[in-house]
Structure 1
Amino acid sequence: MKRIATLCLLLLALNGYSQTNAELDPKILTSKAVMNQFMDLRFGMFIHWGPVTLRGTEIGWSRHHQVPATDYDTLYKVFNPINFNADEWVKTASDAGMKYLTITAKHHDGFCLWPSAYTDYNIMATPFKKDVVGLLAKACKKYHIKFCIYYSVLDWYQENYPLDNSTDPKLADKRKKPDMEKYVVYMKNQLKELVKNYDPYMLWFDGPWEAPWTKAMGLDMYTYLKTLKKDLIINNRLGKSFSGIDADGTAKFLGDYDTPEQRIGSLNMQTPWETCMTICEQWSWKPNDKMKSLQTCIQTLAKVAGGNGNLLFNVGPRSDGAIEPAQVARLKDMGSWLKQYGTAIYNTHGGPYNPNDTFATTRSGKKIYLHVFKPVTTLTIPEMPGVKINKAYIMKGATVALMQTNGQITLTLPAVLPDPNDTVIVLETDKSTIDIAPIKNEEKK
């Protein structure tokens, strides 16, 4: 029995699953094949949206703070986003080159963007009265975008959830008769609605850090969800440990992939991961929010792919339901770049070099895609053990001179790079690059 258990743990480790996942029945874990297909997508759209956009403050977290709860909790009564158009949102994602979309169906504030049968605090109680989740699911099918759903574990509105707002411990006693067991049933009922009615490709959980939620609850919820849909992908935030904002590549998490937040994860060829990051500064809409430059957006995507991760890039539509035109334009420019260089992003593996501020690399078959971020005329990188470069050239452009001596590869680049945001140099090799171990490198000009 001990030998069999050890073998099971070894197999789980080889598949990239964490120690926490080892406590689950291996038969229910999302397969490596499904996860590989997810990681091939590389680029997705995150959408944080709800009645709080009427105040322009952060979703969930501004409740009791910038916005009094009595105001926050009644915003839905006047929430009427007449300019919402699911097709336009999804087309924006498609034009950006994004392959999946994740909507905050229920954030920490508890408001639901679908007509849930288990609470009146949902979109049908607004003047708008349209199933946002359903309309987005339909539009995603039209544009061949994978549809995904965000759902918060915590809920500062629902009466059975024990806490009112984790950022203010004085509010912890506000609930008169909280019942976590009933709340878990509430969660399961709502999640069954979402899975059965909208058939999401992936569920993106958040908020497991509060004390009422336990590791046992996370294990039970993952198991339950797999009875609803076998190949459903589930992120790492059902458990109590995940990298999030602070830790990096934590060895223990419950779910199918790690989720570094507002930062780029480190190169990791074993554990799937996805950076979630905002295109501006706030997750939900904020008037005059500062937007990232096109260069930063493109280089972030390249660095994430170079680390073998996906980028879930967030937009916050306005209270009228429209995405800011400037954000739409920025995303479209990213899509234009991907139309030229997408081969170096989609369906690739990260590495073998660790990304830095000068370059990142992705790889596929007998090709290394070198993403150059800075206007350097000479770029020197360590040689790849046992691999020879036969040819170097700018993607869809001229040949690049190279030398391979003394354990180094030196490339001579044009004085003016074709793309100031990210010029892709293709290195054709004499053998497959997939099995090359990660190579530490220093930035050299």
Structure 2
Amino acid sequence: MKTELKNLLSVLILVVFYNVQGQLTGGGEANPDLTTNKESLQVFQDLRFGMFIHWGPVSLRGTEIGWSRGVQVPKEDYDGLYKEFDPVLFNAKEWVKTAKDAGMKYIVLTTKHHDGFSLWDSNFTDYDMMSTPYKTDIVKELVEECKKQGIVFGAYYSIADWHHPDNPMVYPPEKTDTGLKDINDAKTKAKMDRYIGYMKNQLKELIDNYDPAIIWFDGEWEWVWTHEMGMDLYKYVRSLKNDILINNRVDKGRKGMEGITTSNRYAGDYETPEQQVGAFNDKNAWETCMTIANQWAWKPNDPMKSRKECIQTLLRTVGGDGNLLFNVGPMPDGRIEQRQIDRLKEMGDWLKVNGSAVFGTRGGPYLPTEYMVSTRNKNRIYLHLFEKTESPLTLPFPKGVKIEKSYFLKNEDQIQIDRDKTSITINLPEIMPDEDASVLVLELNRSALDIDVQPRINY
């Protein structure tokens, strides 16, 4: 029945011209048809820390999701893994609790990666969770648990689909001539029209049935995906849910792994640096996505980041005015590795003490350095110190702003600060409150958000 529905409905091409008020990221002349819901973006930036989850039948092989198909794992083997996929120890409550214990405020799940497998009960394909021995709608269970525990849910959805017969995008590239040379070729266009219809049907299904706050697109780099297709897909998704957020990978404006959007003519509500902390940017919203280990999908004995790396990665991101989407890859049986749970709990324990310096803050007013980043909210500046300097810390400080109180968040020890007309000098204690990141609070006589970004310092 699903296959019949797929053949019938995937030919529908829904083109929606929809205009709302807002503002796009990136420089250049804005496209009035592509706009961002400002209220949703503000909520998103306040969350600051989320969990990325890459998971699917490929976890049975321990290789990378999508990218190992036809490379490390023969296509026939890879495409048949769903028949063995039976994650009997999957527990949505435990997944969400792991995120919550880490201090994370949202979850983004790979509902469909480049391999085309759907983790939900889809009416438009048989290549989904209901065709596995487990026969359970993973997305439904996770969404319900997110609502119970107060975690925002987002859905990753890949534009690239190397399994779908109507998608001309293939990986690895075919050695033989497929006859698909240009998007304007009649054969290519016909296949893409059908495939876009399939995508829109699945996206409508996800939004109608699971109500994600975010659609996290990926796979837009393929030659067959065009700027016009990206604009159309952005407008279509926004027509289904006006307050949804859509990342910049829906369109062709992303600049490689750096993730920035090159111009306002491209669609996307926020930028997406990958496996690197983005540069300081308090004008355009951005989110670094990064793995807790090396591989996105589960890999046995994959080297994992230390407590120091994890906490400082979060702070370097937030200090640059971005969000961190930190990835875990659950095992084939449905559990997240205990060592990853333990590391995330260490981050959560740090945030229980210092979370006010992260959540709801903006980056600045000091630009990130190797040893320090800063965040701010209301009348407070938070200095995140990664190690003690050998000499007193001197920072530029604007005239007319008074520091009424200064103390460490962890132990509330008062810190003496000296100042002159243009700077402040902080005499730090011999032993810092936290060996990986100590937060010093400066309470001001005015809003910290009104202070201009200060010149870069060397310290």
TM-score (norm 2): 0.89
SS in 2 for 1:22: coil
Supply the AA of the counterpart residue of 1:182.
Answer: R
In the alignment, structure 1 residue 82 sits paired with structure 2 residue 57? no
In the alignment, structure 1 residue 401 sits paired with structure 2 residue 416? yes
Partner of 1:410: 425
2:351 to 338, 351, 355: 338
1:266 CA drift (Å): 1.2
1:151 CA drift (Å): 0.1
2:288 to 275, 287, 291: 275
2:223 to 211, 215, 225: 211
1:47 to 43, 53, 70: 53
2:304 to 288, 291, 295: 291
1:387 to 371, 389, 401: 401
1:69 to 69, 75, 78: 75
**Runs (5+) with no aligned partner, structure 2:** 1-20, 182-186
In 1, are the aligned partners of 2:24 and 2:30 still within 8 Å (CA)?
Answer: no
Partner of 1:141: 147
Distance (whole Å) between structure 1 residues aligned to residue 302 and residue 56 of structure 2: 17
In 1, are the aligned partners of 2:258 and 2:276 still within 8 Å (CA)?
Answer: no
Partner of 2:3: none
| CA pair 364-16 structure 1, distance change in 2 beyond 3 A | farther
| CA pair 128-35 structure 1, distance change in 2 beyond 3 A | same
In the alignment, structure 1 residue 25 sits paired with structure 2 residue 25? no
Cα deviation 1:372-423 (Å, max 9, x = unaligned): 0013352222223543323321114211111113632211111111111111
Supply the AA of the counterpart residue of 1:25.
Answer: D
Distance (whole Å) between structure 2 residues aligned to residue 35 and residue 389 of structure 1: 31
Distance (whole Å) between structure 2 residues aligned to residue 106 and residue 171 of structure 1: 27
Cα deviation 1:246-288 (Å, max 9, x = unaligned): 4656344421100111111111111011010000010000110
Partner of 1:228: 240
SS in 2 for 1:188: helix
| CA pair 283-159 structure 1, distance change in 2 beyond 3 A | same
Cα deviation 1:58-105 (Å, max 9, x = unaligned): 101111111111111111111111111111001100111100000000
Distance (whole Å) between structure 1 residues aligned to residue 276 and residue 323 of structure 2: 12
Partner of 2:251: 239
1:234 CA drift (Å): 0.7
Distance (whole Å) between structure 1 residues aligned to residue 284 and residue 176 of structure 2: 38
1:199 CA drift (Å): 0.4
SS in 1 for 2:339: helix
Supply the AA of the counterpart residue of 1:381.
Answer: L
Larger relative contact order (CA 8 Å, sep ≥ 6) = 2
Partner of 2:178: 173
| CA pair 294-113 structure 1, distance change in 2 beyond 3 A | same
2:202 to 190, 195, 201: 190
In 2, are the aligned partners of 1:53 and 1:285 still within 8 Å (CA)?
Answer: yes
Cα deviation 1:217-255 (Å, max 9, x = unaligned): 111111111121110111111110114414656344421
Supply the AA of the counterpart residue of 1:67.
Answer: V
Distance (whole Å) between structure 2 residues aligned to residue 20 and residue 202 of structure 1: 25
| CA pair 225-19 structure 1, distance change in 2 beyond 3 A | farther
Distance (whole Å) between structure 1 residues aligned to residue 116 and residue 54 of structure 2: 13
| CA pair 180-20 structure 1, distance change in 2 beyond 3 A | farther
In 1, are the aligned partners of 2:259 and 2:274 still within 8 Å (CA)?
Answer: no
Partner of 2:378: 365
Partner of 1:354: 367
SS in 2 for 1:434: helix
Supply the AA of the counterpart residue of 1:379.
Answer: L
In 2, are the aligned partners of 1:248 and 1:266 still within 8 Å (CA)?
Answer: no
1:173 CA drift (Å): 2.2
**Runs (5+) with no aligned partner, structure 1:** 1-10
Partner of 1:5: none
1:328 to 341, 350, 353: 341
SS in 2 for 1:371: strand
Partner of 1:428: 443
Q: How does 1:299-310 map to 2 (within 5 A)?
A: 299-310=312-323
1:168 CA drift (Å): 2.9
Partner of 1:4: none
Distance (whole Å) between structure 2 residues aligned to residue 146 and residue 126 of structure 1: 27
1:121 to 123, 127, 131: 127
Cα deviation 1:167-186 (Å, max 9, x = unaligned): 43526729896600000000
Distance (whole Å) between structure 2 residues aligned to residue 151 and residue 401 of structure 1: 51
Partner of 2:434: 419
In 2, are the aligned partners of 1:238 and 1:255 still within 8 Å (CA)?
Answer: yes
In 1, are the aligned partners of 2:156 and 2:217 still within 8 Å (CA)?
Answer: yes
In 2, are the aligned partners of 1:205 and 1:238 still within 8 Å (CA)?
Answer: yes
In 2, are the aligned partners of 1:106 and 1:150 still within 8 Å (CA)?
Answer: yes
In the alignment, structure 1 residue 311 sits paired with structure 2 residue 317? no
SS in 1 for 2:83: helix
Distance (whole Å) between structure 1 residues aligned to residue 387 and residue 448 of structure 2: 25
Distance (whole Å) between structure 2 residues aligned to residue 386 and residue 238 of structure 1: 45
1:435 CA drift (Å): 2.3
Equivalenced residue count is: 429
Distance (whole Å) between structure 2 residues aligned to residue 30 and residue 283 of structure 1: 29
In 2, are the aligned partners of 1:49 and 1:104 still within 8 Å (CA)?
Answer: yes
1:211 CA drift (Å): 1.2
| CA pair 404-65 structure 1, distance change in 2 beyond 3 A | same
